[in-house]
Amino acid sequence: MLRPHGRVSLMLLLLCPGLSWPGAAAGVREAAVSVSLPACDREMERLAERVGPAVVRVEAAGGECVWFDLQSTGVVGADANPRSSRRGDRLGLQCGSGVLIDPAGLALDMPAAKPPGRDATEPPATVGRPACQGLVLTCEHVVRGAETVSVVLSDGRRVRATVTGVDPRSDLAVLSVAAAVLPAVPLADAADLRCGQSIAAFGYPRGSRSTRAASRSAGVVAASGCRLRVPGGQAVDRYDGDLVRTTAVVEPGFSGGPLVDRSGAVVGVLTAVDSDDAGASYAIPVNARTLAVIDRLRRGESVEYGNLGVEVRPEGGAAGARIVAVAPGAPGDRAGLRPGDVVVRFGAATVASDDQFIRRVGAALPGTRVELEYVRAGRRMQTVVVVGRRAAPVRALRVRFDLAVAWRGALFGPVPTATQSDRGLPRGALLVLRVEADSPAVRAGLEPGQVVVRIGGQRLEEARTAAERLTGVRGDTVLGMANGAVRLVCE
């Protein structure tokens, strides 16, 4: 699935077109890893023997092809199959990967990645548990909207899986399977990863149903804490600002598969690939933040995130997070925050970047009172904000593509009446459904899932005339968004 960002195309590993693997990047991998090829082969074989039995194929059947996540800020996230966007379409069988994990590794005190007494290069024995309930860690987008989910084990057994929990914001999901003798692998803290460190990616490529053994690809860590900003990406509300970037070359179907270190422990979950950057792959890191999410999901509990109702951007190379939009009536608005303010401290911790601010707000418990420091017009100011709760996604929101209108490289459609009432949107509110690359709309910052409530300063109160007003506009036009932001769309 294409996720464009400027001139960079990002694709979910689940749906991206075929890649040349593994030969296409063999030269890159050989140049990056300073060991002989036979040594690499031997190490990969050892990892495959230990990790491979715990890697599974995840098969999800059914589900709506169009999904939107409507948040309290008025921002909506979309996950539509661009090849099948007609109303009422269904996805058939979609396949991804997953890994059976050892629940002992879910302790929030984070087990050491390299236990004392064991060489860092010595793979730990895969844990084997007879006749037990297994936990499969995968990506939320692999099972989104599925009516049934099955897991194919490395020995060829196919078992029905129960989705115990999903979290669209982190793109993580936990499945439960019951079968005899389920292998499992440990988890390790991705904070220990260093640039240039060897890693391996495991997964089942699309179309490989007859192959029992998972495919694997060697690489190195290129960077950590990477941002994956995707206008119109698969869910606008998804947080993609803390990913591990690697040189491991992966194929469609690897989504949800494990990224492992040289010890054979899982340090990440594969989620995306950058087709315009030598096929660089991205993984969700295993760290204290994601472990807390995984632990709640395996217990069948929902994951709550703090929310201030503000939109932030980087502060031009300086420390802090610049506020660019404040939702009316949101916690940030009630605390007196305004667009242009630069947040430099949240609670007792300084704010180094917008991503750090997003993570800290998300980790704060709803209802918590937090002192916040910010800079406005060169003056340092303080306020106390009561953290709100990020609204739960609204699932399976049906979109009327047959009523959509095109304007300046974007497709707009009406917001369903029930959602308008629930979220306090005007009757003429327009939902951005699709944005073409290199268009006036994408240059203005429009993204699929955003909601337009004003055109040229005038509120869209009438559903009958909203689309006509939009298509009849001439010249440069300011669109007012439901989250308080504005977008200047040039002609």
Query: What is the per-residue burial (b if ≥16 Cβ within 10 Å, else e) of 370-380?
Result: bebbbbeeeee
Calculate the CA 74 to chain-centre distance. Answer: 19
Q: d(Cα 386, Cα 72) in Å, to the nearest integer?
A: 15
Calculate the CA 204 to chain-centre distance. Answer: 20
Question: What architecture does CATH give domain 306-389?
Answer: Roll (2.30)
385 residue type, one letter: V
- Provide CB contacts within 8 A for 282, sequence distance 6+: 226, 228, 240, 243, 244, 245, 246, 270, 271, 272, 273, 274
What Cα–Cα distance (Å) separates residue 471 from each residue in 132, 434, 455? 59, 16, 11
CATH 2.40.10.120 maps onto the chain at: 2-298
Indicate the fold that domain 2-298 takes in CATH: Thrombin, subunit H (2.40.10)
Side-chain-side CA neighbours of residue 120 (13 Å): 10
- Provide CB contacts within 8 A for 26, sequence distance 6+: none
Q: Please give the chain's pLDDT, 491 residues, in tens.
A: 333 333 333 334 443 333 333 333 333 333 344 445 566 667 778 888 889 999 999 998 864 433 343 333 333 322 333 323 333 233 356 789 999 998 765 653 443 333 333 333 333 334 444 334 689 999 998 888 788 899 999 888 899 999 999 998 899 999 999 887 788 999 999 988 999 999 999 999 876 655 567 888 989 999 988 876 554 333 446 788 889 999 998 888 899 999 999 889 999 999 988 766 666 889 999 998 999 999 999 999 989 999 999 988 887 778 899 999 898 889 999 999 999 999 999 999 999 988 899 999 999 999 999 999 999 999 999 999 999 998 765 554 556 666 788 899 888 888 877 777 767 788 888 888 888 878 899 888 887 778 899 998 889 888 778 888 888 888 999 998 887 788 899 88
Q: d(Cα 468, Cα 474) in Å, to the nearest integer?
A: 12
**CATH code for the structural domain at 401-489:** 2.30.42.10
Side-chain-side CA neighbours of residue 190 (13 Å): 28
Q: How many residues does the chain have?
A: 491
What Cα–Cα distance (Å) separates residue 239 from each residue in 225, 305, 351, 359? 12, 11, 17, 9
Q: d(Cα 434, Cα 233) in Å, to the nearest integer?
A: 10
Question: Which DSSP state fits 74?
Answer: S
CATH 2.30.42.10 maps onto the chain at: 306-389, 401-489
The answer to whether the pTM exceeds 0.75 is: no
Q: d(Cα 229, Cα 235) in Å, to the nearest integer?
A: 11
- Phi, psi (degrees; rounded to nearest 5) at 55: -85, 130
